[in-house]
Structure 1
């Protein structure tokens, strides 16, 4: 009798264990569905991943740009690459740019950065409504690596002799603020001006204007008015890329 009772108890726990396994066993159909939903939720463009794939963008046939060779390098490069029109793409629309030929070093530098894919995955990282939006920087490690490959320490000589002033849609180089009496330009960042003439007092004659927006100022205005933090950095990264039009 005792043996029958033991067998009964053993069968009871075996049945109970089977029931628990059924409850905890993963539903393969549901798992598959969740995976599909997760993939569908990923944005079409994942800039951080793409940037990592394209970190090694610098053409090894070009030497690094330094303050010693910057004028010679960009003068020669400008002769070989005469393009003046660039399209900057964002998730909010495209911005088309014309580069001025009478600022040859800035034009050549911008074309060089575009062809080296420097801007790919960088941001419009400063937005100030009714004033400027600024691009060419990011907090991605890939951007730091790209700068190191191209030449992280060089500055562009100012090109201010053309007498231009900041107007709606002009494009200027961001200025190096450390001891910089020659008003040299930091080569990797640029800003588009939106503000009134009253806001140009400290800009005119201090920042090299090397181009203008020919199409897409509505996009510029939209970006300028996006939510931002106290440091004027947009709350949502505004990734950009740039390509030569002609």
Structure 2
């Protein structure tokens, strides 16, 4: 009897460990192409919230409403017509902020990083994340001497591998330790480049709409 209990307990532990190690990926289809992100298990609250939204179909018809070339592309802050009322209902259902899960220097704002938008420190000193809006980093390249400016008392010395990433692949180091990075782009950089190169107007909003058609968990 004890042996059966031990085997059962071992099986439960193995299944739990497997669930924690599972890698989740989400494919987005937009009106300018597809891209795929993977979600980090190190940020479980953001991962689970994002997966829940995708399962709900929450991102369908939401816009990339803020696009800044060589910086980032941001989605989820508005919807295209005639889905505005649906978007307002979505925001009402998902109004609670997500507690920050900042894991710098393990997770940082390299090119392709997936991170959560948020309101500013004055209203949000705990750096909690918006439950819906996300952005994907594009960034710029940096010299090693330029990265010294980001080695503050709070952040500490920037690890060599992080420096190397910013120097060779690019990113936005000034956002590190400020916003939660919870995933990264694994496919579709060409699509993100199409988005970042779109002409924008007031508030960095694309003049021609870029929107998510659908999102699905792979």
- TM-score in terms of structure 1 length: 0.63
2:115 corresponding residue in structure 1? 172
2:59 is the alignment partner of 1:105 = no
| Runs of 4+ deviating beyond 6 Å | none
Superposed displacement of residue 162, structure 1: 4.9
2:142 paired with 1:202:
no
Q: Quick one: higher RCO (CA 8 Å, sep 6+), 1 or 2? A: 2
Q: Deviations over 1:12-68 (max 9, x none)?
A: xxxxxxxxxxxxxxxxxxxxxxxxxxxxxxxxxxxxxxxxxxxxxxxxxxxxxxxxx
What is the match of residue 115 of structure 1?
55
Deviation at 1:228, TM superposition (A): 1.0
- Tell me what 1:26 maps to: none
Q: 2:201 aligns with which of 187, 205, 229?
A: 229
CA contact (8 A) 1:132 1:224 kept: yes
The worse-fitting range, judged by mean Cα deviation, of 134-143 and 118-127 is 134-143
Q: 1:86-112 deviations in whole A, cap 9, x for unaligned?
A: 001111110001000000000001001
Residue pair 1:100, 1:211 contacting (<8 A) in 2 also: yes
Q: Deviations over 1:124-168 (max 9, x none)?
A: 1111111100001225221111222x232x111111135222111
Checking the alignment, whether the CA contact within 8 Å between 1:156 and 1:185 is kept in structure 2 is yes
Aligned to 1:189: 133
Per the normalisation by structure 2, the TM-score is: 0.70
Gaps of 5+ in 1: 1-78
> How far apart are the structure 2 equivalents of 1:238 and 1:171?
18
